[in-house]
Amino acid sequence: MPSKKSTGKAARQAERKRLHNRAVKSSSKTRIAVAKKEIDAQSSSAPEKAREAVSSIDKAANKGIFHRNKAARLKSRLTKKMNVLTASITKQSQGNGG
């Protein structure tokens, strides 16, 4: 039992925020994993999944759930994988054209 009424309220608020933050973080991590899976499978939906993942990372960083440096690192790694996929697709299409 908290010694002050305000301490109890602060604890209840912190618990609500913790649960919400955990849900947002989990959702972002799931979107990142799905995007990586799509990129590795060279799926046609990979660019869309990557955009969704980057968007969720940005939203989480703006809310303070991810540190801005961690968000930048996650986005950079995902973008790098996406660029490798795009380059390989472009190289394949150029090779088949001639």
Are 74 and 68 within 8 A, CB to CB? no
Residue 66 zone, left/alpha/beta (φ > 0; ψ -120 to 50; rest): beta
Q: pLDDT of the chain along its 98 residues, tens only?
A: 788 999 999 999 999 999 999 999 999 999 999 999 999 999 999 999 999 999 999 999 999 999 999 999 999 999 999 999 888 888 888 877 55
Which two three-digit tokens encode residue 55? 């968007």
Which pLDDT score, from 0 to 100, does residue 41 have? 94
Which pLDDT score, from 0 to 100, does residue 49 have? 96
Tell me the whole-structure pTM to 2 decimals. Answer: 0.84
How far apart CA 81 and CA 36 sit, in angstroms, is 8
Q: Which residues of 53-82 are buried (b: 16+ CB within 10 A; e: fewer)?
A: bbebbeebbeeebbeeeebeebbeebeebb
How far apart CA 31 and CA 23 sit, in angstroms, is 12
CA 81 to chain centre: 14
Which pLDDT score, from 0 to 100, does residue 36 have? 97
Which pLDDT score, from 0 to 100, does residue 96 have? 72
Helix (H) or strand (E) holding 17: helix 5-40
Which pLDDT score, from 0 to 100, does residue 97 have? 57
